[in-house]
Amino acid sequence: MTLSQLGQEQLEREIDRHFAAGPDAVNDPAAMTAFLALRSALERGQVRAAEPDAAATSGWRVNAWVKRGILLGFRLGALEEMPAPEVGASGPAPALTFVDKHTYPARHFTASAGVRIVPGGSSVRAGAYLARGVVCMPPMYINVGAYIDEGTLVDSHALVGSCAQIGERVHLSAAAQIGGVLEPVNACPVVIEDDVLVGGNCGVYEGTIVRKGAVLAAGTILTRGTPLFDLASGEVIRASAGLPLVVPENAVVVPGGRAVNKGKGREWGLSLYAPAIVKYRDGKTDLSTMLEDLLR
């Protein structure tokens, strides 16, 4: 079932109305109905917290109403045990129990969804979208509002934060951290576009956009306040008032350091972390990522 444009506009109005009601929304059954409709649409990939938009400066448009709807779900939620003990059950409690808002249980997948979740302690929260062909290696976690497109691999100990947008054929390597964002609601989430390789122990935060085909070497950290030094072009890439940090298409980024040239920093021989683009992706770089196809 698809969500028509008219239906989406009506859902947006309902979400905004109940969000504006504040605590009073908790006592309105229509608020829960609207939230559950949004959560279902998120899980089907019919609505997104952010989506490609050629007219936007960054190439991405934030759907602030979706983020308001996700926050509404937390407001409406009540703490409950997960999984809840069966009525009339006797004997010891389940070995693993959790306590969270009942509006955001863990998602349940069947083989028909085409998503491969390898056994071993992974969790996908309700309200996240995983396309067919996504592979999840344990343990990993995907938070509400995240969108993960076809053929992406989420490796062990990787985190996909709230509302993060992950493209097709992305490899999030072991212990990669993709930051989430719900507030402020107009803030762009982290975006990892198609065919990006995110190396082990990388951290991408604060709305950073990584363009198609880029490679982040192991240990690279990118934030809004991180300048990115492009050795190939001689430019320094920074976030601005209206634009987050944007890693160019096919850039190969590695961790680096920049010497401190004044004060005690110079006296002590210190350097500051400074990620650098050492080159742009070529045939040789692609050979090093061919292993992806063998793992699927």
Instruction: List the single range of 93-107, 212-226, 236-250 with lowest mean pLDDT.
Output: 93-107
Give me the mean pLDDT over the 267-285 stretch.
Answer: 91
End-to-end CA distance of the chain: 29
Distance between CA 73 and CA 55 in Å, rounded? 30
Distances (CA, A) of 93 to 78, 80, 82, 100: 21, 14, 11, 17
- Average pLDDT over all residues of the chain: 92
Q: Of 30-44, 72-86, 124-138, which range is least confident?
A: 72-86
SS3 of 86-119: the string is CCCCCCCCCCCCEEEECCCCECCCCHHHCCEECC
According to DSSP H, which parts of 119-169 are helical? none
Residue 271 pLDDT class (50, 70, 90 cuts): very high
Domains and CATH numbers, the chain: 5-79 (1.10.166.10), 115-286 (2.160.10.10)
pLDDT of residue 242: 84
% of the chain beyond a pLDDT of 70:
91
Q: What is the pLDDT of residue 289?
A: 58
Tokens found for residue 74 = 């937390």
pLDDT at 98 over 80: yes
Predicted TM-score (pTM) of the model is 0.92
Its sign, for the CA torsion 101, 205, 163, 200, is negative
Q: Is the pLDDT of residue 296 over 80?
A: no
